[in-house]
């Protein structure tokens, strides 16, 4: 566990006790990264900030439930941001997509999933294991995590039937599970 990881865990414990300065410290360090993560999913800066707002309220309320034995504080907090962003995406995608949204989505194709893979730290276990996957299957997994797409949206994006998309992802997860064990 790195020094900053220890700090995150300590700050979350302090939040659990009602220490607002600890939440502020987390905000100073991570709010920017969180907006970036949410924006990759919802594609709208304003909405990304709203999500980060809600995520901080949730972190504050649930900090006492964070269990360091189950993973780093950073991963725990970022999971809250991603879940909220994905929920927002599912809610808005039920509404009619405007032409603007489609343009934005097209632009973001370049800055989304593939780009994230390229930027993964050399030597990280995830990068090594993702490299072993067939490139199209790898993209399917990345579209889910990085852009928060559903099975159906991924199938449409990579142009395969829904059933194929689902089985690609399940098999990719099985392969990653072996590789990351």
Partner 1 sequence: MTDRMDDLSAGEYVLGLMEGPALAEFERRLAHDRALQAAVGHWREHFSALDSTATPARPSPVLWNKIESSIGRPGVVDAAPNFRERVWSNLGFWRGTSFAGAAASLVLAVTVGLMAGRATPKPMIIAVMQTGDMSPGAIVEAFADGSLSIVALKDFEVPPGRTMQFWTLWDKQKGPVSVGLIDRTKRARFQRADLPQQNDQLYEITLEQEGGSPTGKPTGPVLVKGYATTPRL
Chain residues binding partner 1 by CB under 8 A are: 16-18, 20, 23-24, 27, 31-33, 35-37, 39-40, 45, 48-49, 52-53, 56-57, 60-62, 64-65, 67, 70-72, 74-76, 78-79, 82-83, 86, 90, 111, 115-117, 119-121, 124-127, 129, 141-142, 144-146, 148, 150-151, 169-170, 173-174, 176-177, 180
We find the least distance from the C-beta atom of residue 16 to partner 1, in angstroms, to be 7
We find the least distance from the C-beta atom of residue 147 to partner 1, in angstroms, to be 10
Are 15 and 23 in contact, with CB atoms under 8 Å apart?
yes
122 CB-near residues (< 8 Å, 6+ apart): none
Which CB sits closer to partner 1, 36 or 102? 36
DSSP state of 66: -
Are 43 and 58 in contact, with CB atoms under 8 Å apart?
no
Are 151 and 165 in contact, with CB atoms under 8 Å apart?
yes
Question: Alpha carbon 6 to chain centroid distance?
Answer: 22
We find the least distance from the C-beta atom of residue 126 to partner 1, in angstroms, to be 5
We find the least distance from the C-beta atom of residue 85 to partner 1, in angstroms, to be 9
């Amino acid at each position: 566990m790195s020094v900053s990881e220890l700090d995150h865990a300590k700050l979350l414990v302090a939040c659990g006790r009602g220490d607002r300065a600890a939440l502020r410290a987390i905000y100073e360090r991570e709010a920017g990264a969180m907006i970036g993560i949410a924006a990759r999913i919802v594609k709208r800066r304003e909405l990304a900030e709203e999500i980060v707002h809600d995520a901080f309220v949730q972190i504050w309320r649930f900090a006492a439930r964070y269990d360091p034995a189950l993973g780093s504080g950073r991963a725990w907090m970022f999971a809250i941001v991603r879940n909220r962003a994905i929920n927002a995406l599912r809610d808005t995608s039920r509404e009619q997509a405007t032409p603007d949204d489609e343009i934005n989505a097209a632009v973001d194709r370049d800055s989304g999933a593939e780009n994230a893979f390229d930027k993964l730290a050399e030597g990280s276990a995830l990068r090594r294991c993702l490299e072993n996957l067939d490139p199209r299957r790898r993209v399917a997994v990345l579209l889910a995590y990085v852009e928060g797409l559903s099975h159906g949206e991924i199938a449409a994006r990579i142009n395969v039937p829904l059933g194929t998309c689902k089985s690609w992802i399940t098999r990719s997860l099985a392969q990653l599970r072996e590789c990351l064990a």
